[in-house]
A and B are shown apart, each in its own frame.
Chain A
Amino acid sequence: GNSVTQMEGPVTLSEEAFLTINCTYTATGYPSLFWYVQYPGEGLQLLLKATKADDKGSNKGFEATYRKETTSFHLEKGSVQVSDSAVYFCALSLWDGSSNTGKLIFGQGTTLQVKP
């Protein structure tokens, strides 16, 4: 089946620390992979995406590389800020045999808290 597993949180870091949030997946076909961020009381915002193996998605200092050999899509940032405090979701899009469907399977979410 299709599934996404994220490291459990909460993750608490000091400002300017290095961040890694692990994400691994199982999937059939050729899914696209995503990281979404959710700030308190808000909906989801796309942070970055990768559509095929070895692609690197990046945005706002965050990066993640689509690793098919390890079925992983770990999120990294070199120096976190207090404003990065949020819940981060890893997700994959389901493949219907010929294309991606737009239907997403989410990981359980990882809460990041950055302290000044």
Chain B
Amino acid sequence: GAVVSQHPSRVICKSGTSVKIECRSLDFQATTMFWYRQFPKQSLMLMATSNEGSKATYEQGVEKDKFLINHASLTLSTLTVTSAHPEDSSFYICSASRTGLTEAFFGQGTRLTVV
């Protein structure tokens, strides 16, 4: 399968600061990337869908001004958590896909802790 790399794997930040998470598709051009959030011992919830070169589409209830998503190239999407709050502490996972693929490929996830 294709390789998707997510960085960093763990990050600790102070309340009020911003943190950026990168998602890279290493061996294919990802026209679409997805960002999920996973709460402890719960399932993954889709936050947003980003298509290369256009604005992200956010799921209902997700604050787009708080979770900034950029998909500037076919191999990179970023999620920036702005003005981080302890409630934003979670496991964030990206996946990448492209037209014609029947599946999306997942990064290894980022554990964000806001203190």
Contacts and interface: CB of A to CB of B under 8 A. Distances in A.
A58 to B, nearest CB: 15
Nearest to B104: A102
A109 to B, nearest CB: 5
Nearest to B110: A43
A36 B38 CA distance: 14
Contact of A93 (B44, B102, B111): B102
Interface stretch (A16-24, A44-52, A63-71, A78-86): A44-52
A73 interface: no
A109 B16 CA distance: 32
Interface residues of A, number: 24
Interface in B44-102: 44-46, 49, 93, 95, 97-99, 101-102
A98 to B, nearest CB: 11
A39 to B, nearest CB: 11
Contacts of A32: 102-103
Interface in A23-41: 32, 34, 36, 41
Given A103-B34, A103-B49, A104-B34, A34 B103 contact: yes
B100 to A, nearest CB: 8
A101 B51 CA distance: 11
Interface in B2-25: 6
B5 to A, nearest CB: 10
A42 B101 contact: no
Given A43-B108, A93-B103, A105-B46, 4 more contacts: A42-B109, A102-B97, A103-B34, A104-B46
